[in-house]
Structures are given as C-alpha cells and as structure tokens.
Amino acid sequence: MVQPLTNSREPVFSDGKPLLEFDSVGLEYPFEKQMRRIIQEVSLSIAPGEFVSFVGPSGCGKTSILRMVSGLNPTAIGEIRYRGQRINKPLKNVGIAFQNPVLLPWRNTIDNVMLPLEIVQPYKNEFRQKKAEFIHMAQELLATVRLQDFQKQYPWQLSGGMRQRTSLCRALIHQPEILLLDEPFGALDAFTREEMWTMLQALWMRVKCVGILITHDLREAVFLSDRVFVMSARPSTIIYETTIDLPRPRTLDMELSDEFNHYFSTIRRQIQHN
C-alpha cells in the first residue's frame, strides 16, 4: 500500500551539516590552444533533503555542475564536498534522470525500474534473496506516479510521459541521497510537463533525498524547489539566490497565486538583466 503524502515536508538535518558544499568551484575547457573559463566561481551549500534548481542562459555550465557533483567529471578548480569529503570519483548513491529517458527496450516497466538494484551495492548481493521485497518497492514507486497498471508494458508501448515517469522511478529505486535532474521534462508537451512536476514532487517527498534540477523552465524551478540559484552568462557565477517559501505538497493551482508569480517574475528579471 502506498503511504499517503504528508501536508508538509521539512528537510532532515541529522547533524546540522550540509550534505554538499561547493567551495570556489570553477571550470575551464581547452579551446583553440588555450583554456576558456566556463564557470568563474560558485560557492554554496545544500542541506540534506533539500531540492534546489540552477537556472541561467545556455552555455553557463549548469549541466557541468551535475557532472561534477556526480563525480563523473571531478572539479579541478575548487572543491565539491560530500559529507565533508572532496568528490574525486563517481558517487555510488546518486540517481540521474535526463531529458530523454534511456530505457532498455527488452525489459518491461518494472524490470527497467529494478535495474539499479541488480547492479548497485549492497542491493546487488541481496537481489536474489530479497527480490520479492524489491518488487514491492518498485510497485510502490510506480503507484506513486500512476503506472501500477503498466508494469508489464515495454518502453515502445508507453507514451513519452510514461517513459519519463519510469525513468524517475528507476533513478530513485535504490534510495539515493542525491537525485540529479538534467532538463528531465524538456521534451514533453506543456500539459504533460506540469503533470510530471506533481509526480516528481511526490517521489521526492517519499525518498527524502537531495534534488538538484537543471532547467530553463522558471515555473518548473519555482514549483519544485526549496531554493533557486540563478547563474550569469559565462564565465558564470551565482548572481541571485532565492528561497521558495511555498507549502508542500504544491499544487498546479498555486501557479495562479500572486506569491508564485512574484517568485517567477523576480527570477526572470534577474536573468533578463544579466
């Protein structure tokens, strides 16, 4: 049975310390025999259970931030620390969802969702003994995004929104501490995209992980986030930060409120005047 969502959700601060710390993080790429600065400097911290978004112009290094947090491209300038330790290799407790969900075409929905449990420790060693328990975990997540009746369908039998919902469940099945989202709904139509906001919120509230979203949709950032960071054009830095003080769970009707539109218009002005 899927547990009902609570009316509010406060981040869990077990020891009062941030989960992630960005300490003067920069980024350079080689270009025409010289180094070109992409990110000038980013310093911030993210608390356990917090959902944050990065917005800003194309090419300012937003996606690169995700790759540095994941450890796939550790930063060579400054430090990103996870629980006080510098990230210098890929982290194991990370879930990732991209704009285009990459599902294995020969696996049905529930088997795609369960894939991380077959390859990520400690679940890998326990998979045979606890398979029934893991199936139940996957079914609960699928029920949260209203896919409980599509467990046996294959990717080609699902709509784009259904495939993205499956991808999100797969990213969260191993209960990661960090969920990285790179324009996850950019390829969806406006109606489906808004529906996905509520479903992602429900999944995040269930798993209680850090969420880091890269998006060009400012309403999406306001709807989902505890804080929004606005990045400048490159060489980029954080030029504006705001806390989104709206109650959870948030509803699509909140988009019509003066408070929601105040956040949206303020963030948009910061980007336009950049």
Annotate 206-226 with three-state secondary structure: HHCCEEEEECCCHHHHHHHCC
Q: Are 210 and 179 in contact (CB under 8 A)?
A: yes
Rounded CA Rg of the chain: 19
Distance between CA 163 and CA 171 in Å, rounded? 12
SS3 state of residue 71: coil
Residue owning tokens 């049905």: 108
Over the stretch 120-174, which tens digit does the pLDDT of each residue have? 888 888 888 889 999 999 999 999 999 999 999 999 999 999 999 999 999 999 9
What pLDDT, on the 0 to 100 scale, is given for residue 231?
95
Distance between CA 84 and CA 16 in Å, rounded? 12
What pLDDT, on the 0 to 100 scale, is given for residue 15?
59
Whether cis (ω within 30° of 0) applies to the bond prior to 18 is no
**Pairing state of beta strands 227-231 and 51-55?**
parallel
Of 117, 248, 97, 115, nearest to 179 by C-alpha is: 97
Q: Name the token pair of 62.
A: 């937003």
Residue 1 confidence (pLDDT) above 60: no
What pLDDT, on the 0 to 100 scale, is given for residue 6?
32
Distance between CA 99 and CA 115 in Å, rounded? 19
SS3 state of residue 53: strand
What pLDDT, on the 0 to 100 scale, is given for residue 224?
98
**Pairing state of beta strands 77-82 and 85-86?**
antiparallel
Over the stretch 198-247, which tens digit does the pLDDT of each residue have? 999 999 998 889 999 999 999 999 999 999 999 999 899 999 999 999 99
Residue owning tokens 């300012």: 60
Average pLDDT over residues 59-77: 93
Cα–Cα distances in angstroms (integers) from residue 105 to residues 75, 101, 152, 155, 165, in the given order: 34, 11, 12, 6, 15
Average pLDDT over residues 170-186: 93
Centroid of chain to Cα 233? 22
Average pLDDT over residues 170-199: 92
Rounded to two decimals, the pTM is 0.89
Distance between CA 268 and CA 266 in Å, rounded? 5
Average pLDDT over residues 52-67: 93
